[in-house]
Amino acid sequence: MQHEEAIQLTYPATPTSQRSLRDRVGVSLEVANSVDAISWAREAEQAGVHQLWMTAGGVGGTDNLTLFAVIATQTERVRLGTAIVPTYPRHPVVMAQQTLVLHDIAPGRFRLGIGPSHRHIIEGMYGLSLTAPLAYLREYLEIVRPLLWQGRVEHHGRFFNVVTSSPRKAEVPLFISALGPKAFHLGGEVSDGAISWMCPIPYLLERALPELQAGAKASQRPAPPLVAHVLVAVSSDETAVEAAAQQQIGFYSTAPFYAHMFAEAGFPDAAGKDRAALAHSLVISGDEAAIQARIKDLLVSGLDELLLQLLPVADKAAERRRLLQAVGTL
């Protein structure tokens, strides 16, 4: 159990409904190398994008905390968020230490998103044991939050025994990844926000959001924001968009956690007959005006924030520039 006094969780001072549309939309930073990432981030900031997110990938993927530390020194205003940093390979004390570095470099601009990742990555690549991922994630937060927010923690639990302190502290928002209803419920209970990935919009509105709100109610706290991951194709070629979307979801349709979520969302055969319908439910497409209109519709529908990931169709570089301009001029 955690022996720290209860921490009052806080959220942005301005309610989501009162924030500008642009402030509620982020873009996933995806590049082949770190040097390009720095240039990409500068371009996004200059275009007027308010939030950049970055995934971590599996072994050999980007170390998003390290790269964001560099990007923070090369940008001035754009917020930075991890979506996500896997918990199992990184001790929570180390995670807190790295987070403090980001906060020191870019005060108020960093949001830490963490999650358990997936069995084929944690066990198949890292060779670690993925056991009770949601219980592990809850306990992980019970260490990271007091260490960051209060500068000290004493925790004796199922997975960790930690007694330590820090000379610095920072109330960095702590987000968690979420796919299934239980994860969204946990997000409502203990996090500052839940980050979805490859979740159909109807599923987010009808299943995820109510669970997030129920978790918050159970903990007697305001519901944190739901950050909805959305694929965006800057193209009006419907046939090409559908082909690109089906290719994108190929891996996810067979990954157990995603396959289970797709089934709960009404796509039990995501790798087969449901693949086209699933692709359609995950992607918004068209020219800049059409994309902006769809973004506005989604934010009005009840989603708090959007995490847009470019779905390349013909010319990735040109489509990326067009997406940044679309978001930056909302």
pLDDT tens-digit series, residues 178-207? 999 999 999 999 999 999 999 999 999 999
pLDDT band at residue 57 under the 50/70/90 scheme: low
The answer, yes or no, to whether residue 73 has pLDDT greater than 70, is: yes
The answer, yes or no, to whether residue 59 has pLDDT greater than 50, is: no
Mean pLDDT lowest for which of 15-19, 33-37, 49-53, 75-79? 15-19
Of 117, 110, 118, residue with least CA distance to 192 = 110
pLDDT at residue 30 in the model: 85
CATH 3.30.420.40 matches 18-328: no
The answer, yes or no, to whether residue 3 has pLDDT greater than 50, is: no
Average pLDDT in the 234-242 region? 96
Average pLDDT in the 240-246 region? 94
Identity of the residue numbered 281: S
What is the percent of the chain with per-residue pLDDT over 70, rounded to a whole number? 94
Q: What is the pTM of this model?
A: 0.93
Identity of the residue numbered 129: S
Average pLDDT in the 35-45 region? 95
Average pLDDT in the 94-120 region? 94
Query: For residue 33, how many other CB atoms are within 10 A of its CB?
Result: 9
Average pLDDT in the 260-271 region? 94
Average pLDDT in the 284-300 region? 97
Residue 118: phi and psi, rounded to 5, are -135, 155
Residue 287: phi and psi, rounded to 5, are -80, -175
Average pLDDT in the 286-302 region? 96
What is the percent of the chain with per-residue pLDDT over 90, rounded to a whole number? 82
Average pLDDT in the 241-249 region? 92
DSSP assigned state of 206: I
Task: Please give the mean pLDDT across all residues of the chain.
Answer: 92
pLDDT at residue 6 in the model: 41
Of 145, 103, 126, residue with least CA distance to 57 = 126
The answer, yes or no, to whether residue 304 has pLDDT greater than 70, is: yes
What is the rounded CA–CA span in Å between residue 250 and residue 188?
30
pLDDT band at residue 32 under the 50/70/90 scheme: confident
What is the rounded CA–CA span in Å between residue 195 and residue 177?
5
pLDDT at residue 17 in the model: 67
Identity of the residue numbered 249: I
Strand partners, 27: 52, 308
- 82: CB partners within 8 A, 6+ apart: 53, 54, 55, 56, 64, 65, 68, 111, 112, 113, 114
